[in-house]
Amino acid sequence: MSTTLSSIELSKSFIDACLVELRALKPGNVHDYSNGHGMTVADFEAAARAAAPYIVDSSLSLGQRIEKSFEASFKKVKLNANLGIILLAAPLITAAQSSIHVKTTKPTVSDLKSSLKKILNSTTPEDTAAVFRAIKLANPAGLGRVDEADIHHAPPNMTLYEVMLLAKLRDRIAMQYVSTFIDVFELGVKRLRDSVELGLELPWAATNCYLEMVSSFPDSHLVRKHGDDVGKQVQEAGQAIRSWIGSGTGIMQHKATLMDWDKRLKESNLNPGTSADLTVASLLANSLCL
């Protein structure tokens, strides 16, 4: 007997992932301990709830889910609070809805990844056009121009997978599309589960997940906005903090250190936003599968 997660369950999983990420202390990003970059926790909470009905709508294509979810969020909060989150969450939710599994409403990690790969490989030029419209509406900081599949031009006759393949080296979200979400599963979900097994509550496990992302590669939002050198500097700072405070239950004792880094990043207008988006995606993927 095969079953799938209901839209109500998936909507709850999406909103919960967004809310837990906000409860987590994520230096440089918006969280319960500190707003920043002209955005508040309330903005992100409202954006998540606005997007939820559309991101779980199985009558919509992947591109339509992304476009309509972001349109609803943007209409609600009048700013780009969650385009990266939606770009990552929509394929995961679509995959969860199409996973084939037995005797449980949750797929295994292998089931979810298998469905995800099929969905990403079957995207269409129509998906691309819908996503381009969402990106234009968001107008994310640091969006430059490239020779192929430039967002400022008419959408190309390319599938969404093909567009992400072109962007994978300069955008970590694009990298997820062409690697079956490698960072989400191999870094994020693994770090979350290891942290919970050690006894951390989920928000602190999410802090560990975020630090794993920040320290593993230059954050592509930072690189787009500030350049390669700044991206590398923040990555190295993340590595130093991870080395000093560790990634176990002792992280809770280093709140002051994390808050100090948070303050310094925000004073310099540095926001590792892609790492935060990947943290939400990791929380969501973790909740969707066994």
pTM to 2 decimal places: 0.94
Q: Is 21 helix (H, G, I), strand (E, B) or coil?
A: helix
Measure the N-to-C terminal CA separation of the chain; round to a whole number of Å. 17
Question: What is the rounded CA–CA span in Å between residue 172 and residue 269?
Answer: 20
Q: In a structure prediction context, what are the per-residue pLDDT tens digits for the chain, which is 290 residues long?
A: 345 679 999 999 999 999 999 999 999 999 999 999 999 999 999 999 999 999 999 999 999 999 999 999 999 999 999 999 999 999 999 999 997 665 567 889 999 999 999 999 999 999 999 999 999 999 865 444 444 555 556 566 999 999 999 999 999 999 999 999 999 999 999 999 999 999 999 999 999 999 999 999 999 999 999 999 999 999 999 999 999 888 777 888 999 999 999 999 999 999 999 999 999 999 999 999 98
Measuring CA to CA, which residue among 86, 180, 184 is closest to residue 133? 86
